[in-house]
Structure 1
Amino acid sequence: MEVHKGLDGVVVSETKISSIVENQLLFAGYNIDDLVAENVQFEEVIYLLWYLKIPAAHELEVFKRDLAAAMPISDTIITCLKIQTRQNLHPMSVLRSTISLLGVFDPQAEATDEQSAYQQSIALQAKMPTIIAAYARLRKGLDPIAPRADLSMAANFLYMLTGAEADPLFVAAMNQALVLHADHDLNASTFTARVCASTLSDIYSCITGAIGSLKGPLHGGANERVFDMLREIDSGDLDVEEYLNQKLDRKEKVMGFGHRVYKTEDPRKKHLKKLAKELTSYTQKEQWYFLSCQVEQYLKEKKGLIPNVDFYSATVYHCLAIDSDLFTLIFAMSRVSGWLGHIYEQKKEDCLIRPRSHYIGPKHLAYRTKNEELRSGGMEG
């Protein structure tokens, strides 16, 4: 059998949700450049990924109302979050466990009819920002803040973090970041969700698995590592070139660079780079933007490496006053929209994903019982 390590270049499913065509990212046929240029709301993109069409005004109104109604979380979930703040856990592990608990407390978690699936999906999409914001506050000894029905998902998240309505520039930046991260072909976490869905498992299990996949530093966890790197450069004695050369000499990966699919430029990067420039200027944190540009220029000119979606998103989230170990949770808060769309699609396909592996270990070994070994002297001692 021909082996494709990491399934590189292997097409395992058909989709109408998102695609990468000639280095452009499309959501259900719409170029993300156009969606960003039109300042499309994240809620519209969620609807697009689930139903493969831009909602009409009345459809969007009902959809946003359903999301807003599902955003609050129970006291039980808050108590579970409080318990997890006392543990030495990564925030992504907290998110994974809490999303799993939503399924435990949902009496309809195993229901598969269309209405139940919709309610489950709305709950997962709407409660994730509330869970993340509540955890961010609880671990600092602060009380959670309830969401407001009159705010968008982006505005609500920033409000729940601080208790104050966010600057309109911050809300627009948050919304755009959520749009850009919403889906991306058959990435590792989406593939995990689809594999789980192909077994006809419940939606909560599919999303829990996807979160576990996103946590890894070679996937969603990279943006957290990006800002760790920028901090190291900023506070250290080495300049950018010396720091990167030492890192590369040690054969260490530079997080936020390189991509399995894109060979010239990640189409999402230019939007996040623009946001990073605007936000660092507005918040007087320009050093992070200039430092990022230096890293990008050196690695591109000297090593031919290109930044991916994670690189500038780290600076964007930092300017929004989000702790770096929460960056990947923001990724999940957006990408759950794509995961849910793919789960629907996979279940309709009704095909178990079950690849093969190429065995390279020993063959035809003979099993010997203890009595046989004793007779042959193999266990004399």
Structure 2
Amino acid sequence: MTVLTDETRRAAGPRSAARRRSVFLTGILIAIAIAVALSLALGSRSVSIEEVAEGLSAWLQGQTAQDIGAIAVQQRIPRTVLAIVAGAALGLSGALMQAVTRNPIADPGILGVNTGAALFVVCGIAFLGITSTIEYLVLALAGGTIVAVFVYVIGSLGPGGSTPIKLALAGAATTAALSSLVSAVLLPRIAAMDVFRFWQVGGVAGADWSTLAIVAPLLAVAALVSLLCAPVLNALALGEEVAAGLGVNVNAARIVASAAGVVLCAAVTAVAGPIAFVGLMVPHVMRMLFGPDQRWLLPASALGGAVLLTLSDTIGRLLGYPGEVEAGIVTAFVGAPVLIVIARRTRLKAL
């Protein structure tokens, strides 16, 4: 019989965790491939695997497909790409928000970032007549940033500083107030309401390459900054005093990570509308699979968000046939019960 020494057990622990993470990572990558295939194949007109291959081949060669099914595939490619990019950004943003605030129910929606971006976009539509993606993007970034700072300041007032419950309450109150302002701006302006109501639901149906070209560089920079923050966020999880003892500038780390999270969320909100619950659900699932190490959790949350939003968009097309249900409605339908489960399990404890 083999006797395991303490040193052997300690060495086996990290190897076992690494193998488990590798298996989960492989599973997520396979899930992304499946989600992409389903997104390209399913919709108002379902296509065969051969038509998917033909459409992709023609697109890669810069040609227009001849078969109707292959043409449908080509038309779905930018939508699928936006779903992957937007889902990844929202999942990564949610993981950052939860790490920075040490709040298990933090996400861009609960902390008011989505609503702040929406309010500024509404005001731009109603009072400035904005129509371009760049204008949407600038206003969404401004609104998301201002509201995120406001919620953090309000949640930090009083004894104890920025506790999870205070931040959640400040975000909920701010979201309710800003939602009322959005309604107040829109109700007397029917034309603005018509423009806004489709955007407000949240979805990727209006994807095109020009929109992706505008937001992709911004999202890429924010994502890179987020991933570089992983070691610092691991230190913050040990507590502010321990992190400071390890040489971490706590305030600077929080500002940089929070800014990256706000940019990720606001940029997606500008082009796809305020899609809720992705940033809340995905990091929790990934934390159960990969553990709390941010070096694994952040990229896993991005991949998980891409899977969730791409599948939600595909499901919405099937549920609303011959029309479609926007992806934001599907994620909200799934996310509401998940939020209840999370609240019951975590009991609002800090991470």
Alignment TM-score, normalising by the size of structure 1? 0.27
Alignment TM-score, normalising by the size of structure 2? 0.29
Say which structure is richer in helix.
2
